[in-house]
Amino acid sequence: MDKPSTEVVRFAPKQRPRGELEPIDQAGHAVIGLLKEAADISKENIERSMTVAHRLSLELRTAEDRIREREGEVERRESRATRAEQWLATIKKEIEDTLIAPMEASRSEPQMLN
């Protein structure tokens, strides 16, 4: 039977060329790069969102101005309609008093024949 070998083989760490980073340093730099990229994307998204919010704010202000104009138009038209109804009532009363009432009065009077 063979004896198990108790010999230990040692591996020397790989020598890196001068200036080459350790894997942990490479990973750290990669993470920092990704964070900077995420920050840039986030900044672009914020700028886009602010631009859209500003545009929508202007559109909302314009819509509110148009609503106020339309409300003013409605009030003016309602006022005109009310005045027109008052005039129609006045005209109706005038017709009844000056035309219809005298005609009815003359009909109810007995007419004399000559």
In the chain, which stretches have pLDDT less than 50? Answer: none
CA angle, 96 then 99 then 100, to 5°: 55
The pLDDT value recorded for residue 21 is: 75
Q: Which two tokens stand for residue 40?
A: 């840039």
The pLDDT value recorded for residue 35 is: 98
What distances in angstroms separate CA 54 from CA 42, 62, 65, 95, one per listed residue?
18, 12, 17, 61
Asked if residue 21 lies in contact with residue 29, where contact means CB atoms within 8 angstroms, the answer is yes
The pLDDT value recorded for residue 60 is: 98
In single-letter form, the type of residue at position 87 comes to W
